Homo-oligomer: A and B are copies of this chain.
Amino acid sequence: MTAPASPERRSELLNTAAEVFAAQGYNATTVRRIADEVGMLAGSLYYHFDSKESMLDEILSTFLTELWDGYDTVLAAGLGPRETIEALVTESFREIDRHRAAVAIYQKEARHLADQPRFGYLADSQQKFEKAWLGTLERGVADGVFRADLDIRLTYRFVRDTVWVAASWYRPGGLHSPEEIARQYLSMVLDGIAVRV
Tally of chain A residues near chain B (CB < 8 A):
42
Q: How far is the CB of A154 from chain B (nearest CB, A)?
A: 5
Q: Does more than half of chain A's interface fall in helix, strand or loop, or is it mixed?
A: helix
Instruction: Establish whether residues A161 and B154, one from each chain, have CB atoms under 8 Å apart when the complex forms.
Output: no
Instruction: Flag the segment in A10-18, A57-65, A144-152 that touches B.
Output: A144-152
List the B side residues contacting A191 at CB < 8 Å.
191-192, 194
List the B side residues contacting A176 at CB < 8 Å.
151, 154
**A112 vs B21: C-alpha distance when bound (angstroms):** 11
Instruction: Establish whether residues B194 and A193, one from each chain, have CB atoms under 8 Å apart when the complex forms.
Output: no
**A149 vs B194: C-alpha distance when bound (angstroms):** 11
**A150 vs B111: C-alpha distance when bound (angstroms):** 33
8 Å CB contact of A194 from B145, B158, B166: B145
Identical copies of this chain, number: 4
Instruction: Establish whether residues A25 and B158, one from each chain, have CB atoms under 8 Å apart when the complex forms.
Output: no
Instruction: Establish whether residues A190 and B192, one from each chain, have CB atoms under 8 Å apart when the complex forms.
Output: yes
List the B side residues contacting A193 at CB < 8 Å.
146-147, 150, 155, 158-159, 189-190
Residues of chain A having any CB pair with chain B under 8 Å: 23-25, 27-28, 82, 108-109, 111-112, 144-147, 149-151, 154-155, 157-159, 161-162, 165-166, 168-169, 176, 181, 184-185, 187-196
Nearest 8 pairs between A and B by C-beta? A192-B192, A191-B192, A161-B165, A190-B194, A27-B27, A27-B28, A190-B192, A154-B184
8 Å CB contact of A155 from B25, B151, B188: B188
